Chains A and B, each alone.
Chain A
Amino acid sequence: MDFEFSEEQIAIRDTIRELVQDRVAPRAAEIDEKGEYPKDIEKLFAQNGILGIPFPEQYGGISGSSVSICMGIEEIAKACASSSLILAVQALGSYPILVAGSEEQKQRLCPPLAAGEKIAAYALSESGSGSDAAAMKTTARRYGDEYVLNGSKQFITHGSIASTLVVFAQTDPGDDHRGISAFVLEREKSPWQAPKLEHKLGIRGSPTAQLVFEDVKVPAANRLGEEGAGFKIALAVLDRSRPGIGAQALGIAEGAFDYALAYAKERQQFGQPIASFQGMQFMFADMATQIEAARTLVYRAATKVDARAPDLTKVAAMAKLFASDMAMKVTTDCVQVLGGYGYISDYPVERMMRDAKITQIYEGTNQIQKVVIARALLR
């Protein structure tokens, strides 16, 4: 047992922490207010190797370890949840290639993603197919060496800005989830449309797109795994990415907590700092305890990803469920600590509370996590 990061991981974390303090934190409020994708921060992450964290060295990256990915996401999310998705979705969109791709596909597709020259996204959900992912309608028909995709996808993070998109589509529409296959679309060769961006409660700097595919041609060489293996790939990817959402939730909660604690030590009422009141102190004790409980569970799930553990599905779902519920509660309580100031946009905690909400919803709602956990327990 060893609860510490390795020296190498600490070095990566310290680099990220410094960059985030200097360059991301000062931009966070503006990114949220304008609702613009922070291209400058994407470039900053690319230049500093941060987007290489999800990839092993042989594919141009610097790590490939889920513990390192989670650590990076957590650090960024402390200051700006939108920016943390630049790393998180680079990992999410690349996992299908790393998990199910052939050696040729990994060699060809991963290095530009690891270098941050290309941005990845992951397209599973549709307007009529959310929690029930197997009900998707998008089709991929094979004509010789190509597939032709038709349909639409909903709630695709970075779908509008990505240059490499993993799309799940029915190659055998009569056959339920066994008819689903996975494809990598390279935008210059297989252009898709992103006609609409969503206006959202939080993570406003992270574009969420509706995507449309009208006779989009994809080379058969870009199919991941066998025909019909797509649903399995989708689930295997979510097992690996859920600890990252847990890490994002953890980071958001820590950011809000640190701000609220510092505020409570300064803020004077009744002639003393509000942190001197036991009512406040117990809130902080409970919040800190819940944060630490979530932290161990998130990194436990990450180590399970790295160890390819058989109980990964259950533990990853637990980490995502617990950390995201924790983040919602902690950020709400942090707004409470700041009172009226917590509610206004001059202070960051209301943004963090808005950002926390999505972690309970995406990559499987928390209700779906409970379905997954209960299935594992009662199998």
Chain B
Amino acid sequence: MDLELAPHHEAFRASMREFAQGVVEPHAAEVDRDHRFPEESIEAARHAGLMGVLIPREYGGAGLDAIAFALCIEELAQACASTAVIIDVHTSVGSEPILLFGTEEQKRQWLPRLASGELLGAFALTEPASGSDAASLKTSARHVGGDYVLNGTKVFITNIGRAGVYIVFARTGPDERAAGVSAFIVPADSNGLRVGQVFKKMGLHGSPTGELVLEDVVVPAANRLAADGKGFTVAMRALDSGRIGISGQALGIAQAAVDQAREVLAARPRAQGDDFALAEMATRLESARLLVYRAAWLCASKRPFTRIASMAKLHSTDTAMDLALGALELAGEDGAIAGSPFERHVRDAKALQIYEGSNQVQRVVISRDLVNAR
């Protein structure tokens, strides 16, 4: 048993911290205030080779593992949760499906461009009437000649309008549930693909979220990921490791909140209640951190990790929400003023309990596994 990060992971974290604090953090408050895409941070991440952390070197990526990925997102989120989710979605659910399920040709075609950041990735599963019940999606993909023709509307798509390629899930078969779903690699410049409404959100203001409208979008059969009818498997596997990224994001927000609360407390006379609140927050964060790294380690060492990843997502995002609120409480009035990092963390953290499987869905995943076990 060795619960310390390996030296190469520590070194990677240190370089990520330098990048995040030096390059990303200075824009965080303004990105949030102006609801704008963090161009400088994403551009810098491209130059720093951070868009292909999980993509093997032979396809132009950094070839790092899930632990490094969690550390990458954790450090980014400590600086700016919007930047973190843009890169997280791009790296995990936006690129990993091609890495895990793509043919050699698909990998050669798409991964180098995703790894370099030339293309930003996105993941289009959710629909207006199909959220937690993803298998009920309605977007259709009709087989016409050698192509598929896609029609439907996707919603709550992170990186909307910025993505160069979308992983889109659509119904190809007669089965009305999971077995009728297939996955497609859909370039953003496809005819008939357009951005619908872009939402104004409570938090994560720098990360664009909105509707993807597909009207008679012709997708070559060569762009289908995995076999016809296997799309739901692609989606579920992508979300399993996506949860590691979201958990990393939760750790980053929580760490920023605790560190900033600690600074506030260190600079003023404290009551024992303040000390105890900080001690409880730091303890919960530590428990969440280890659970997230455990999920990442399981994934990196190719062991089953679905249950622990769901637990990590549930525990770390609930922790991030509670700690962001707790830190704001300790900071007092100053923390509640717009532009303060304390109120931003509260707004940003809330999304984490909802996306990539709401925490209620995580509980369904975990308890199904528990109840069915043995």
B298→A3 contact, CB < 8 A: yes
Residue from B2, B262, B282, B367 with most neighbouring chain A CB atoms (10 Å):
B367
Residue from A9, A302, A378 with most neighbouring chain B CB atoms (10 Å):
A378
Q: How far is the CA of A3 from the CA of B290 in the complex (A)?
A: 10
Residue of A nearest to B284 (CB): A322
B311→A289 contact, CB < 8 A: yes
> Does B35 sit within 8 A of A, measured CB to CB?
no
> Does B53 sit within 8 A of A, measured CB to CB?
no
Chain A window 254-296, contacts with chain B (Cβ cutoff 8 Å), 1 for yes, 0 for no: 0000000100010000000001101001101110111011101
A293→B282 contact, CB < 8 A: no
> Does B107 sit within 8 A of A, measured CB to CB?
no
Residue from A67, A299, A370 with most neighbouring chain B CB atoms (10 Å):
A370
Smallest CB separation, B292 vs chain A (Å): 9
Residue of A nearest to B6 (CB): A1
Q: How large is the interface on B (under 10, 10 to 19, 20 to 34, 35 or more residues)?
A: 35 or more
Chain A window 47-72, contacts with chain B (Cβ cutoff 8 Å), 1 for yes, 0 for no: 00000000000000000000100000
Chain A window 3-25, contacts with chain B (Cβ cutoff 8 Å), 1 for yes, 0 for no: 11110010000000000000000
Q: How far is the CA of A297 from the CA of B270 in the complex (A)?
A: 28
> Does A371 sit within 8 A of B, measured CB to CB?
yes
The SS class assigned to the A binding surface is helix
Chain B window 337-374, contacts with chain A (Cβ cutoff 8 Å), 1 for yes, 0 for no: 00000000000000000000000101110111011000
Residue from A3, A9, A369, A378 with most neighbouring chain B CB atoms (10 Å):
A3
B275→A296 contact, CB < 8 A: no
Count how many chain A residues have C-beta atoms less than 8 Å from C-beta atoms of the other chain.
43
A374→B278 contact, CB < 8 A: yes
A296→B290 contact, CB < 8 A: yes
B282→A296 contact, CB < 8 A: no
Residue of A nearest to B313 (CB): A289
> Does A315 sit within 8 A of B, measured CB to CB?
yes
Known interface pairs A286-B363, A290-B315. Does A377 touch B3 (Cβ–Cβ under 8 Å)?
A: no
A374→B276 contact, CB < 8 A: yes
Residue of B nearest to A367 (CB): B276
Residue of B nearest to A304 (CB): B3
Residue from B1, B278, B297, B367 with most neighbouring chain A CB atoms (10 Å):
B1
Q: How far is the CA of A9 from the CA of B2 in the complex (A)?
A: 13
In the complex, what residues of B have CB within 8 A of residue A76's CB?
none
> Does B5 sit within 8 A of A, measured CB to CB?
yes
Smallest CB separation, A280 vs chain B (Å): 8
Q: How far is the CA of A268 from the CA of B262 in the complex (A)?
A: 50
Residue of B nearest to A369 (CB): B279
B67→A1 contact, CB < 8 A: yes
B262→A378 contact, CB < 8 A: yes
A377→B278 contact, CB < 8 A: yes
> Does A300 sit within 8 A of B, measured CB to CB?
yes
Chain B window 249-284, contacts with chain A (Cβ cutoff 8 Å), 1 for yes, 0 for no: 000000000000010011000101001101110111
> Does B288 sit within 8 A of A, measured CB to CB?
yes
Smallest CB separation, A265 vs chain B (Å): 7
Q: How far is the CA of A246 from the CA of B121 in the complex (A)?
A: 43
> Does A328 sit within 8 A of B, measured CB to CB?
no
B5→A1 contact, CB < 8 A: yes
> Does A107 sit within 8 A of B, measured CB to CB?
no
In the complex, what residues of B have CB within 8 A of residue A290's CB?
315
Chain B window 289-300, contacts with chain A (Cβ cutoff 8 Å), 1 for yes, 0 for no: 011011001100
Known interface pairs A286-B363, A373-B283, A378-B265. Does A6 touch B1 (Cβ–Cβ under 8 Å)?
A: yes
> Does A349 sit within 8 A of B, measured CB to CB?
no
A285: which of B5, B276, B287, B362 is its contact (CB, 8 Å)?
A: B362
Q: How far is the CA of A25 from the CA of B129 in the complex (A)?
A: 51
Residue of B nearest to A315 (CB): B286
A4→B311 contact, CB < 8 A: no
B287→A288 contact, CB < 8 A: no
Residue of B nearest to A281 (CB): B367
Known interface pairs A281-B363, A293-B291. Does A2 touch B1 (Cβ–Cβ under 8 Å)?
A: yes
> Does B308 sit within 8 A of A, measured CB to CB?
yes
A374→B279 contact, CB < 8 A: yes
Which chain A residues (194-250) contact chain B, with CB distance < 8 Å?
Answer: none
A282→B367 contact, CB < 8 A: yes
B2→A2 contact, CB < 8 A: yes
In the complex, what residues of B have CB within 8 A of residue A318's CB?
282-283, 286-287
Q: How far is the CA of A276 from the CA of B315 in the complex (A)?
A: 23
Between-chain CB contacts (< 8 Å), 9 pairs:
A3-B298, A281-B364, A281-B370, A288-B311, A296-B290, A297-B283, A303-B1, A373-B279, A378-B265
Chain B interfacial positions (CB closer than 8 Å to A): 1-6, 9, 67, 262, 265-266, 270, 272, 275-276, 278-280, 282-284, 286-288, 290-291, 293-294, 297-298, 308, 311, 314-315, 360, 362-364, 366-368, 370-371
Nearest 8 CB-CB pairings of A with B: A296-B290, A281-B367, A374-B275, A373-B279, A285-B363, A285-B366, A370-B279, A293-B287
